Structure formats: C-alpha cells, structure tokens
Structure 1
Amino acid sequence: MIKKMGYQWRLRHLMAERDMFHTSDLVPLLAELGIRLSREQVYRLVTQPPQRLNMDVLVALCDILDCTPNDLIRPEAVHRQVRKTAGGHTAATEITPRRSVIRRPGQQ
C-alpha cells in the first residue's frame, strides 16, 4: 500500500454556513479585496477543488469567510495498492472491490 495525500475542498460548505448560497455572492466581496475574477472563475473555484490556488485568493477567501486555510483545505490520506508490472516496476492503482463469481463443476 502507498499512502498518498489528497484533500477535501470545503469552500462551498463554508459559504453555506455563512448563508452564501450563490457562487456569484463571492464576486463583489473578492473585488473589494482587490481580487478580480469572472463569475465563471468563481463558479469553478467554488464547485471544483483547485489544482493551483493563488495565495492572494486564498487569503481573501479566508478573510471573507473568517476562517483559516485549514478550514478550507482538509488533507486526507488516500491509500493505493501497489502491484508489480512487467519489467520490475511498480504501479499504484486504486483499490476497487470486485464481485466474486462462484463457478461450480459443470457450469460455465
């Protein structure tokens, strides 16, 4: 098993706790802090975990929501199974359950 780190993006949850239910609610609040993002960019920021995040945007979100970066980003471990491949290399794969099939003699 390989321990890989992932994260949970909690922006939508924190917005809801503060009665902010529309992604467009953030646009003017960010603009007040000098962050100019389009409605589409803010929508993606709220609905999808970002792969990269500008530090100014992170600080502005924390200020608007009165939270810390730890409130917005929750690290979580993702366990992956390692199996050997041809050539001696290892490949990490997600663990997925398989349905078992019982074959009795004479059945196919």
Structure 2
Amino acid sequence: MIKKMGYRWHLRQLMAARGMFQTTDLVPLLAERGVHLSREQVFRLVTQPPQRLSMDTLAALCDILECGVEQLIEVTVVDQQVRKVASGESAAGPAPAVRRTTIRRPDGS
C-alpha cells in the first residue's frame, strides 16, 4: 500500500499565541541563534509551508516558540491508501485501454 503524506505548518499560529504578529519579529531572534535569514525569507517561512527546512532553522524556531517539532509541523495523510498489485494495476481497477487514433486532413485525404 502507498500513502501520500502531507503536513500542516503552524508557525503563524504559534507566533500569534506568543504575541508575535509581524514576520520581522523573527529575524533578530533567529540571528541570535545563528540562523541568518533575510526579511523576505522569513516572510515566506511564516506565510507558506516550506518545502525544505534546515535542522538549524527548525531547532531555532522550536527554541524561540518554546515548542516541540510536533506542534510546529502536523503530519497528515493526503490521499487514501492505494493498493499496488504485481501486474502494475492498482486495486482501484485496471489502467485505461490504449486506443489508436487516426488523423484525417481537412481535405478528406
């Protein structure tokens, strides 16, 4: 079975719960912990889930927000499980049949 995993990013909510409402509030706090990000990078980090995140940044965020990784990142299942079978077909059914197509010119030839 194959599971498609996703996650929810709770940085903005955790910041708000600690009275931090501007993304620029994080810049000096991260720098104090050796993580140097531009204002634009911090804005993206707060406003959208990151695709990649360094362990240093993750550790610094957890320290700043006094939280654990599990509070910052909530792992979710995006799709239902799909069962793979040996023939390459999924348990949902066979793959659609391949059909040949004939291309005809507008002049009928």
User: Normalising by structure 2, what TM-score?
Assistant: 0.71
Structure with larger Rg: 2
| RMSD of aligned residue pairs (Cα, Å) | 2.4
Is the counterpart of residue 22 in structure 1 residue 8 in structure 2? no
User: Gapped runs of 5+ residues in structure 1?
Assistant: 83-87, 91-108
User: Normalising by structure 1, what TM-score?
Assistant: 0.72
1:2 and 1:59 map into 2 onto residues whose CA distance is: 30
1:43 and 1:70 map into 2 onto residues whose CA distance is: 21
Matched ranges for 1:30-45 at <5 A: 30-45=30-45
Aligned to 1:58: 58
Q: Which has the higher strand share?
A: 1
Counterpart AA for 1:21:
F
1:49 and 1:80 map into 2 onto residues whose CA distance is: 22
2:53 and 2:89 map into 1 onto residues whose CA distance is: 33
Partner of 1:40: helix, strand, or coil?
A: helix
Q: Over residues 6-56 of structure 1, what are the superposed CA-to-partner deviations in whole Å (9 max), with x where a residue is unaligned?
A: 000000010000010000000010011111100000000001101110000
Alignment coverage as a number of residue pairs: 89
Percent identity over the alignment? 68
User: Gapped runs of 5+ residues in structure 2?
Assistant: 83-87, 91-109
Q: Over residues 37-87 of structure 1, what are the superposed CA-to-partner deviations in whole Å (9 max), with x where a residue is unaligned?
A: 0000000000110111000000000000000111100001112586xxxxx
1:81 and 1:28 map into 2 onto residues whose CA distance is: 43
Aligned to 2:75: 75
